[in-house]
Amino acid sequence: SNLLSLHLASYGGDVATFCDQKGAQSWKVTRHNQPVHDLFPNNNVVFLSPDAPTALTAVDPDTVYVVGGIVDRTVRKSQSLAKAHGWAIRTARLPVQEHLRVKSHVLNIDTVVLALLEVHNHGDWKRAFESVLPKRLLRPDESQ
């Protein structure tokens, strides 16, 4: 199948309350109270972090990609990377710099998910980034 599924892990407390107020009950996602490392085998999981040294090369439909709800640069640099290492989960970053000249390779959650979907559907990172990255992130010579 060519379908992907979305899961919200550690879904509880204030996060669940906030999301439910935003209509989360109608979202086509599976919600879990447990953290991701209790839901899936670690060898099937890749935690995406803008600070990871390794760039993701492809999207594997058998791999669970974790897009953390932590914004590393504005909260605390490398927080998602440290969390993944603490759980013994592989890490990777999206290969933004390898395909486009950007002002920042730190992306918000929806942009990361959209890029993964584009690559899953078309297999082309550059096309994915050109399609989903906000123009404000592109360096002037890339926006033409």
Q: Strand runs (DSSP E) across 22-135, as ranges?
A: 30-31, 45-48, 64-67, 90-92
Whether 62 is catalytic is no
Q: Where are the domains of the chain?
A: 35-142
Active-site residue identified among 72, 110, 124, 141: 72
For the chain, list residues with pLDDT below 50. 70-73, 143-144
Q: Is the dihedral of CA 135, 141, 51, 112 positive or negative?
A: positive
CATH T-level topology, domain 35-142: Alpha/beta knot (3.40.1280)
Q: How many CB atoms lie within 10 A of CB 39?
A: 15
Q: How many CB atoms lie within 10 A of CB 6?
A: 12
Provide the pLDDT for residue 56: 96
Half-sphere exposure of 141 (CA within 13 A, CB side): 2
Name the nearest CA neighbour of 36 among 67, 71, 73. 67
- Which tokens sit at 48? 């995406």
Provide the pLDDT for residue 81: 81
Provide the pLDDT for residue 144: 43
Backbone angles phi, psi at 58, to 5 degrees: -155, 165
Provide the pLDDT for residue 73: 45
